[in-house]
Amino acid sequence: MDIEDIYNLIPDFMCTDGCHECCQNFGVPSRTQVEDQRLEAFLRKNSMKPGKAKGTTCPYLDEKGCAIHPARPLICRLYGTSPNYRCKMKVAPVRLLHEDEEADIFYLYQTHFF
């Protein structure tokens, strides 16, 4: 199983234009080793440097949004898509995940990538 197989279980989510509410409140997003490697590869490929913590704001948030969007970790993808991670701005995917689907995603994530 690849990490992308788990990402593919998460519904697409269209943020409100210009909103970065969630990226300003949780600091550096948690990642597994595999996600760190994906992030490092993305940074290398794009001649970028690892971000430094900025209080509660994610180091990868810039004026245009998430600077590492294709390589963002699972928690960033999950936010807003399940009842336990509702977007404060009340944006949601067409079909919100059921709590059991969210639990399955975490189970797969933890059993394969921790």
User: Is 68 among the residues that bind ligand SF4 (CB under 6 A)?
Assistant: yes
User: Beta-carbon neighbour count of residue 25 at 10 Å?
Assistant: 12
Hey, which residues between 46 and 65 contact ligand SF4 (CB under 6 A)?
58, 60-61
6 binds ligand SF4 (CB under 6 A): no
Number of chain residues interacting with ligand SF4 (CB under 6 A): 9
| The binder of ligand SF4 chosen from 23, 74, 97, 105 (CB under 6 A) | 23
Pick one of 3, 29, 74, 97: the residue that binds ligand SF4 (CB under 6 A).
Answer: 29
**SS in 3 state form for the chain?**
CCHHHHHCCCCCCCCCCCCCCHHHCCCCCCCCHHHHHHHHHHHHHCCCCCCCCECCECCCEECCEECCHHHCCHHHHHCCCCHHHCCCCCCCCCCCCCHHHHHHHHHHHHHHHC
- Does residue 31 belong to the site contacting ligand SF4 (CB under 6 A)? no
- In angstroms, give the least distance from the CB of 97 to ligand SF4: 18
- What residue ranges bind ligand SF4 (CB under 6 A)? 23, 29, 58, 60-61, 66, 68, 72, 76
